[in-house]
Structure 1
Amino acid sequence: MLALEALVAEKSIVKKLRNIFLFLLGYKKMGPKDFPHQEGLAWETIHTMTHRGTHMDAPYHFGSMCGQEKAKTIEEVPLEWCFRNGLLLDFTHKKAGEWILRQEIIEQLQKIRYEIKPLDIVLIKTGCDQYWNKPAYLTAYPGLSKDALYYLLDKGVKIIGIDSYSLDRPSFIMMEEYKEKGRNHDALWPCHFAGRDREYCHIEQLAHLDKINMPTGFKICCFPMLIEKGSAGWCRVVAIIE
């Protein structure tokens, strides 16, 4: 058996050497002239992180455990969460660093006479996508309060999307509060770390929510890229308006 394996390995090496030799001589080499119209096929190689651009954060991003269960990675997010009725909440009046409060969400729902249903996909419009590719994109947005987040999750919401850099307030504001409050970790990424207690996903860095001209009556499709054991997946989010 050992002799047979050695013979197979030797033949494989000889074959590789032969192919390399033929390639160098030009017999196994292809160039533009070998393709129709002397044009080959296009492709790209991308080196980036899963939290760039429009992406969905999986429960695993918030922590390795969600309650007493192992947190879901992005490929484990249920498909039924990702194609549901949409709800658009308008907070474009909010200033940088301000909280989006529970009572403000309730008031908007009362104004449009809508009761949130389980698995509704909630979109929060801040208008901060206008700062994309500018320094203000990282600093000029409001954040959802933890109390407001829990209100949505209590209604059965599993996916929340926002058209700014993060669902939480800008990092420099959280860091300042963290130091002012004696290094109280509750000041840091409250919506993210809430995901260690309550299972949900959020989509960050959305754009063009201003194109949706109604608060309800549309569907959202937001299937993330399946990345094995990933904490997030790039996501092309589409609003389907009848």
Structure 2
Amino acid sequence: MNIIDLTHTISENMPVYPGTERPKLEVASTYKQNGFKETLLTMFSHTGTHMDSPAHLFFQGTTLDSFSSKQFVGKGLVIDCSDLRHGEKITMKYIEAVKEKVEKAEFILFHTGWDKYWNTSSYFGEYPYISEEITEYLLNSSKKGVGLDVIGIDPISDENLTIHKKLLSKNNIVIIENLTNLDKVGDDLFTFCALPLKFKNSDGAPVRAIAILDDNKQNFNLI
């Protein structure tokens, strides 16, 4: 079994959505003074590799803590669209190219390669984003979730969050943003886990996202 970490590390200097404060990691207790180390974490719920719930945009939307834990684990498929240029749409041709596998998947993850810009100003640029046709496909396909290796599922210029609203208003699908290492997963189905921090009335939360690949080995390879 091969386990691939798809999660960016939270740090004080990490990229955050424009207008959001960066997280703070303050040492609250020390080995010398207290005999142990403890860190006070202060951050917004949509920091780093994170998950959006319907409650992110809608008052009556489902919160992450209301979901069954089954919502966060399932068959995943990475779709390679890293050939796209800045600001181009991910169209249905990428779905159609692997349609048989897509039908079996519960989570669709789009690999744009944008994670290479993490910790640079380019990360907030014109990244690829999903088209209206893919949004409609997701709404009608009963998937558990959709994820990308970019900072938002909408283009950075869309302050109305059009795609977010379409997906989250009519479905209990979740959105995972700021994934990384999707290029290491391959093009076969795998077990995807994205477990959000569980807090009351959570509109979103950081996740530890991993891919579990069955390579017929008895040991674990950690990446």
- What range describes the TM-score normalised by the shorter chain of this pair? 0.7 to 0.9
Aligned-residue offset at 1:115: 4.6
Q: Residue 100 of structure 1: CA displacement?
A: 1.1
Q: 2:183 aligns with which of 167, 187, 210?
A: 210
Q: 1:192 and 1:225 mapped to 2: Cα distance?
A: 21
Q: Where has structure 1 moved over 4 Å in runs of 4 or more?
A: none
1:133 correspondence with 2:127: no
Cα distance in 2 for partners of 1:77, 1:147 equals 27
Task: Assess if the C-alpha contact under 8 Å between 1:81 and 1:158 holds in 2.
Answer: yes
Q: CA deviation at 1:207?
A: 0.6
Distance 1:217 1:115 in 2: 9
1: CA distance between counterparts of 2:54 and 2:208?
19
Residue ranges of structure 2 left out of the alignment (5+ in a row): 1-30, 215-223
Query: Partners in 1 of 2:98 and 2:138 — Cα distance?
Result: 11
Match of 1:153 in 2: 139
Q: Does the CA-based 8 Å contact 1:58-1:77 persist in structure 2?
A: no
* SS across alignment from 2:83: coil
Q: Deviations over 1:109-165 (max 9, x none)?
A: 24xx42513x61111101001111111101141111232122023121121111111
Give the percent of matched residue pairs that are identical in Structure 1 and Structure 2. 28
Q: Please state how far the C-alpha of 1:32 moved relative to its aligned partner.
A: 3.9
Q: Which has the larger radius of gyration?
A: 1
- The residue matched to 1:203 in structure 2 has which SS? strand
> 2:4 — aligned with what?
none
Could you say which structure has the greater relative contact order, defined with CA pairs below 8 angstroms and 6 or more residues apart? 2
Residue of structure 1 in register with 2:171 after alignment: 198
Counting helix residues as a fraction of each chain, which structure ranks higher? 1
Q: What TM-score comes out, normalization by structure 1 length?
A: 0.70
Query: Is contact 2:112–2:149 with CA below 8 Å preserved after alignment?
Result: yes
- Of the three residues 47, 50, 53, the one matched with 2:48 is 53
The question of whether the paired residues in 2 share the 8 Å contact of 1:159 and 1:202 is answered with: yes
Displacement of 1:57 after TM fit?
0.3
User: More strand by proportion, 1 or 2?
Assistant: 2
Q: Per-residue CA shift, 1:37-78, capped at 9, x if unaligned?
A: xxx2111111110111000001111312xxxxx311121122
Matched, 1:227 2:216: no
The CA RMSD measured in Å over matched residues stands at 1.9
1:107-146 equivalent positions in 2, closer than 5 A: 107-110=96-99, 113-117=100-104, 120-146=106-132
Distance 2:101 2:116 in 1: 28
Q: Which secondary structure does the structure 2 equivalent of 1:148 belong to?
A: helix
SS in 2 for 1:116: helix
TM-score (norm 2): 0.76
